[in-house]
């Protein structure tokens, strides 16, 4: 396994649609997934998409551990999101409700942005052994899946923001905690 270089915002690979994977269980996909997981953990990320490591394929890895629950308490940890591999993922939105939250990205280091996304989704795809994966998700789990899958379509979270005034440096995030009162 190896820690891979992460592409940063502005690199062309992050602006293109990734290609479908013909065989999710192919040895090269298994190797890529192992390297992506090691890279994600090393970078302290909640997820990573193949284009972020300069590979234009529809592969994402993610996890939604409890320690990643935002400090604001706005989003609740969803225990159904263990370390997950998704190859050729498809997302279905379940309802009109939106959920807002602060997002960061390994490809946009040092920044956070407030993004509203569908609150409830269903996703499906395959793991790196070719087994079908299908789950419903809400809260942080749903946010991570949508964020990572956006990478597969060449979308970084700032494109999802409705107010660029809420694009801030992580060091200033403490000043932007939403007042729920």
CB atoms within 10 A of CB 136: 14
| Residue 170 is a catalytic residue | no
Q: How many CB atoms lie within 10 A of CB 30?
A: 15
CA gyration radius, the chain:
16
Determine which one of 116, 148, 172, 180 is catalytic. 148
Dihedral class, residue 2 (left if φ above 0, else alpha if ψ from -120 to 50, else beta): beta
Beta carbons within 8 Å of 127's beta carbon, 6+ residues apart = 24, 84, 85, 86, 87, 133
Q: Which residues contact 33 (CB under 8 A, 6 or more apart)?
A: 59, 61, 85, 128
Q: Which helix (H) or strand (E) holds 100?
A: strand 98-105
Looking at the DSSP bridge assignments, the partners of residue 134 are 124
Residues with a known catalytic role: 148
């Amino acid at each position: 396994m190896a820690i891979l270089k992460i592409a940063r915002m502005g690199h062309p690979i992050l602006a293109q649609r990734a290609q479908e994977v013909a065989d999710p269980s192919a040895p090269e996909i298994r190797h890529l997934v192992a390297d992506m997981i090691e890279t994600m953990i090393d970078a302290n990320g909640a997820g990573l998409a193949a284009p972020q490591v300069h590979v234009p394929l529809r592969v994402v890895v993610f996890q939604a551990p409890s320690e990643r629950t935002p400090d604001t308490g706005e989003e609740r940890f969803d225990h159904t999101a263990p370390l997950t591999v998704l190859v050729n993922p498809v997302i279905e939105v379940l309802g009109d409700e939106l959920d807002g939250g602060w997002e960061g990205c390994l490809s946009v280091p040092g920044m956070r942005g407030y993004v509203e996304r569908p609150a409830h989704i269903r996703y499906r795809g395959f793991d790196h052994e070719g087994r079908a994966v299908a789950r419903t998700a809400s809260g942080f789990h749903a946010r991570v899946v949508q964020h990572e899958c956006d990478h597969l379509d060449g979308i970084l979270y700032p494109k999802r923001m409705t107010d660029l005034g809420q694009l801030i440096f992580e060091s200033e995030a403490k000043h932007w905690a939403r007042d729920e009162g």
